[in-house]
Amino acid sequence: MRRLFQFHGGVQLKEHKKEAMTQPVQAAHLPKQLVLPLQQHIGAPAEAVVAVGDKVLKGQLIARPGSTVSAPVHASSSGTVIAIAGHPVSHPSHLNAPCVIIDTDGEERWHPDRHPVADYHKLPPEKIREHIRDAGIVGMGGAGFPAHIKLNAGNRVVDTLILNGAECEPYITCDEMLLRERALEVIVGLRIMRYALQAKRCIIGIENNKAAAFRALQEQVRNTGADFIDVIQVPTVYPTGGEKQLIRVLTGKEVPAKGLPLDIGVVCHNVGTAYAVYRAVELGEPLISRYVTIAGSVAHARNLDVLIGTPIIDLIEECGGNRKTLSRVILGGPMMGTALHDVTAPVTKTTNCILVNSTVGDVPLPSRDKHVMPCIRCGNCAVACPVDLLPQQLYWYARAKDFDKVQDYHLFDCIECGCCDYVCPSQIPLVHYFRYAKTEIWAQQHEKTLADIARERHQFREQRLERDKREKQERHKKKRAALKPPGNAVSKEEEAKKAAIQAALDRAKAKRENQQTEPKNTQDLTPEQQQKIDEANARRAKSNNPLINSALDTQNVQQDKHS
Amino acid sequence: MLSAIIALSVLAAVFGLLLGYAAIRFKVEGDPMVDKIDALLPQTQCGQCTYPGCRPYAQAIANGEADINQCPPGGETTIIALADLLGRDPKPLNAENGIEENIKTVAIIDEKVCIGCTLCIQACPVDAILGAAKQMHTVIASECTGCDLCLPPCPVDCIDMVPVNTDSTNWKWSFPEEADKQEKTA
């Protein structure tokens, strides 16, 4: 018997699992319309490759990955694309998200382009990963991280590949039903994953309340002779199904804060993912359906094999729920699930459970009655916390919006399991505070990067303007310099010019001095004219007018000169 | 007596040399305080603080010429962060500089109306508007800081400030008590 370990805290919950396991899993009815969100995974959204009006076949690629961390989306059934538009999806924001909407034609015609791998051992691991990526497989336990990335260990050695079949939340039974009915396929999928990761050994962890599934797995492991696979029962404590908690229980190792399981040589995948890998590699089928539990206030709680994109209301009605009396539909389990705002939202790759409440009969939930009272510092939350955090401290600081302090208390190690909410005697919605603080911090970080970009651009602009100014000045200076005579040769020329001008001026001056100009009317006079002048002068002399006399004198002087 | 004076003078000389050397050896280039303050400002470069950009405002705060409550885009968060950094008491935003708007906006140009005058391009502090003379202009939304500086120069009023779309990538959980209140009122 393998030695098991314990994680701190956790809570015991009423299981409510039997109700949905009375009937075998059946395929759900084909819906009239399929709604396929382009983002069903963590990472960049997929990009649609079909157009409105296109006929699509079952399993046909309708959206390709948007980046390396992304996953493609395939048509779950044959039909016609009628819209690529925003549609309600299950998200706490209640926002619409872009979806490809397909009117099904009921023919369920498969796309001919399917490539099952005959013998995966003959392909290199990276080819297997590519195959898994092209099948659009994401982590089906709830987070939806693209599986091909988690199946790539890089240059690190994977000691243990853990398959998570713990399924610790109340009401959810889809993994258990899968293990009961498809144990062989899950084990084949696990072997493919082990090959892709080149892992040494495998452990399938399963809670000890799932006896039938455990037996089925053990039998299949024996039959296939896979001695590197251990099927291990773990105690039923919520949240054993958390990745880090299960790793702790099975290996005794703790995933470092802000680290990955790969850092301690462990990789953990959900059993549903293993089944999807089996279908992709052995049958060549992309991920277009999954097991979903429909539980709660419906006439026939059960598990169905549901095409991805099926509207949730269709499934509720198929299980005998009444559209008119619905009150609160929760997607996921009662501890970590989110309330659905619109029941036309589709089942996605990560939808494991639909928990129906109605006005006729409410589901006994382990949650509160919303009457919040002040924190009394009882410390129950710290006792229950499976990651050894101090929820009450986190709560104080999140409430005070002191986001630095919240991070000092390791907010980002919180797995939002809801144990603290569950045990809080004051019914404080602790996880809501933590989610609030997380998104606020992310937003602040985002704003900080934007501010850094803006600062850089602003500085660049200032530099550019400065440079433009400098260049302009330089250009002007050059132009001015170009107008001036450049070099000595030109200045000599200038001097010569100046000298010439000066010489001309001098000449003119000399000429003026040499050449005496006389009034023209005193020269070459006829005798009569001379006589008249003399007479006039005589008259003036007689008149004794001083003014006239003086003028006469100057005239006489001139006349003397001339003569 | 004499020995004491000599000893003290020697000590004074030694320490003087030491301090002098340290002042040269560990000289801090520029003013690190300005950088620290600048890092807390939102970098919208909007000029609502009456300074021509975030860095000049940071410089003014560091010099003690400006108060810490003159940045409307940063709002309360920035004021608290500045108060923490400078060891002062936070105070409410100075209404003369504007009011804090919680909705982040970006500029959008009505491309049918734009005449291609390039005035907005010259006004944009972060070069987030693309275009050339007599060509249509457009705002690079991811680079726009929402500073409103391109609005006044536009001769045909073709620029609008629109709120940034909320989608699943930038959506935030509400503050729990607010949610409770909403539920009660609803």
Asked whether residue B8 is assigned to any structural domain, the reply reads: no
Contact A457 B127 (CB under 8 A): yes
What are B's interface residues with A at a Cβ cutoff of 8 A?
Answer: 38, 41-45, 53-55, 77, 125-128, 143, 145, 166-168, 170-176, 179-180, 183
Contact A95 B179 (CB under 8 A): no
Q: Give CA separation, A547 vs A62, A542, A544, in Å.
A: 122, 13, 9
What's the confidence (pLDDT) of residue B77?
85
Asked whether residue B11 is assigned to any structural domain, the reply reads: no
**Nearest chain B Cα distance for residue A439, angstroms:** 5
A274 is written with which tokens?
């293993």
CA angle (A107, A108, A114) in 5-degree steps: 135
Of B167, B175, B180, the CB nearest to A95: B167
Domain total for chain B?
Answer: 2
B83 and B118, same domain (yes or no): no
pLDDT tens-digit map of A395-425: 999 999 889 899 999 999 999 999 998 899 8
What CATH number did the domain enclosing B56 receive?
A: 1.10.15.40
- CA B49 vs. chain centroid, Å, equals 9
Closest chain B residue to A369, measured at CA? B180
**Nearest chain B Cα distance for residue A152, angstroms:** 26
Q: Tell me which chain B residues have a C-beta less than 8 angstroms from the C-beta of A424.
A: none
Of B126, B168, B173, the CB nearest to A458: B126
What's the confidence (pLDDT) of residue A371?
77
A360 touches chain B (CB under 8 A): no
A454 touches chain B (CB under 8 A): yes
**Nearest chain B Cα distance for residue A234, angstroms:** 34
DSSP label at residue A158: P
What's the confidence (pLDDT) of residue A530?
86
A498 touches chain B (CB under 8 A): no
Q: Tell me which chain A residues have a C-beta less than 8 angstroms from the C-beta of B53.
A: 458, 462
Contact B168 A95 (CB under 8 A): yes
Contact B43 A454 (CB under 8 A): yes
What's the confidence (pLDDT) of residue A409?
94
Q: Tell me which chain B residues have a C-beta less than 8 angstroms from the C-beta of A438.
A: 173
B93 and B110, same domain (yes or no): no
Q: Tell me which chain B residues have a C-beta less than 8 angstroms from the C-beta of A446.
A: 170
B125 and B149, same domain (yes or no): yes
For every residue of A333-400, DSSP letters joined together read -TTT-EEES-TTPBP-TT--EEEEEESS-----SS--S---------HHHHH-TT---HHHHHHHHHT
Task: Give the mean pLDDT of chain B.
Answer: 87
Residues 6+ apart with CB under 8 A from A105: A78, A79, A80
Q: Give CA separation, B76 vs A172, B68, B90, B100, in Å.
A: 45, 10, 9, 8
pLDDT in tens, chain A (563 residues): 578 899 998 999 888 888 888 889 999 999 999 999 999 999 999 999 999 999 999 999 999 998 989 999 999 999 999 999 999 998 888 889 999 999 999 888 999 888 888 888 899 999 999 999 999 999 998 889 999 999 998 889 999 999 999 999 989 999 999 999 999 999 999 999 999 999 999 999 999 999 999 999 999 999 888 889 999 999 999 899 999 999 999 999 999 988 899 999 999 999 999 999 999 999 999 999 999 999 988 888 999 999 999 999 999 999 988 888 888 889 998 888 888 889 999 999 999 999 988 665 555 555 545 678 889 999 999 999 999 999 999 999 999 988 989 999 999 999 999 999 889 988 888 999 999 999 999 998 998 999 999 999 999 999 999 999 999 999 999 999 888 765 555 567 778 888 899 999 999 888 888 776 556 666 677 888 888 888 888 888 877 665 555 555 555 555 555 54
Contact A370 B183 (CB under 8 A): yes
Where is the domain boundary, B97, B119, B146?
Answer: B97
Contact A453 B143 (CB under 8 A): yes
Contact A447 B42 (CB under 8 A): yes
Asked whether residue B56 is assigned to any structural domain, the reply reads: yes
B139 and B119, same domain (yes or no): yes
Q: Given pLDDT bands bounded at 50, 70 and 90, which one contains residue B186? A: very low
Q: Tell me which chain A residues have a C-beta less than 8 angstroms from the C-beta of B127.
A: 457, 460-461, 464
3-state secondary structure of B30: coil
**Which structural domain range is residue B92 located in?**
32-97
Contact B172 A440 (CB under 8 A): yes
Other Cβ atoms closer than 10 A to A533:
15
Contact A439 B145 (CB under 8 A): no
**Nearest chain A Cα distance for residue B8, angstroms:** 49
What's the confidence (pLDDT) of residue A529?
85
Q: What's the CA gap between B49 and B56, in Å, rounded?
A: 10
B80 and B118, same domain (yes or no): no
Q: Given pLDDT bands bounded at 50, 70 and 90, which one contains residue B185? A: very low
Q: If you count them, how many residues does chain A have?
A: 563
What's the confidence (pLDDT) of residue B182?
46
Tokens 């972060």 sit on residue: B126
Of B54, B143, B180, the CB nearest to A372: B180
Closest chain B residue to A441, measured at CA? B172
Helix H or strand E segment including A55: strand A55-56
Closest chain B residue to A400, measured at CA? B175
Contact between A140 and A274 (Cβ < 8 Å) = no
B42 is written with which tokens?
């939102």
A9 burial (CB, 10 Å; 0-12 / 13-18 / 19+) is buried
Q: Tell me which chain A residues have a C-beta less than 8 angstroms from the C-beta of B182.
A: none
Q: Tell me which chain A residues have a C-beta less than 8 angstroms from the C-beta of B175.
A: 436
The mean per-residue pLDDT over the stretch B150-160 comes to 91
Of A443, A451, A460, the CB nearest to B43: A451
pLDDT tens-digit map of B86-116: 888 888 888 888 888 778 889 999 988 899 8
Of A92, A97, A458, the CB nearest to B45: A458
Strands (E), A173-265: 201-207, 229-234
Which one of B45, B76, B120, B126 makes the best mutation probe of the A interface by having the most chain A beta carbons within 10 Å? B126
B132 and B92, same domain (yes or no): no
3-state secondary structure of A207: strand
Asked whether residue B3 is assigned to any structural domain, the reply reads: no
Residue B49 reports pLDDT greater than 60:
yes
| CATH of span A18-22+111-358 | 3.40.50.11540
B54 and B108, same domain (yes or no): no
What's the confidence (pLDDT) of residue A131?
92
Contact between B82 and B57 (Cβ < 8 Å) = no
A388 is written with which tokens?
């050894």
Of A436, A454, A461, the CB nearest to B176: A436
For the four alpha carbons of A251, A257, A258 and A263, in that order, the dihedral sign comes to negative
What's the confidence (pLDDT) of residue A386?
94
Instruction: Identify which of A468, A490, A493 has the alpha carbon closest to the alpha carbon of residue A481.
Output: A490
Residues 6+ apart with CB under 8 A from A161: A190, A193, A194, A197, A199, A201, A202, A203, A266, A267, A268, A269
B84 and B132, same domain (yes or no): no
Q: Tell me which chain B residues have a C-beta less than 8 angstroms from the C-beta of A93.
A: 166, 168, 171
3-state secondary structure of A328: strand
What's the confidence (pLDDT) of residue A177?
94
Closest chain A residue to B38, measured at CA? A455
What CATH number did the domain enclosing B145 receive?
A: 3.30.70.20
Reported as half-sphere exposure (CB side, CA atoms, 13 A), residue A168 has a value of: 25
What's the confidence (pLDDT) of residue A486?
58
A85 touches chain B (CB under 8 A): no
Contact B175 A451 (CB under 8 A): no
> SS3 string of A450-466?
HHHHHHHHHHHHHHHHH
Helix axes A183-197, A211-224, angle to 10 degrees: 60
A373 touches chain B (CB under 8 A): no
Where is the domain boundary, B97, B116, B147?
Answer: B97
Asked whether residue B83 is assigned to any structural domain, the reply reads: yes
Contact B171 A93 (CB under 8 A): yes
Chain A to chain B, count of Cβ pairs less than 8 Å apart? 73
Q: If you count them, how many residues does chain B have?
A: 186
What's the confidence (pLDDT) of residue A369?
55
Asked whether residue B168 is assigned to any structural domain, the reply reads: no
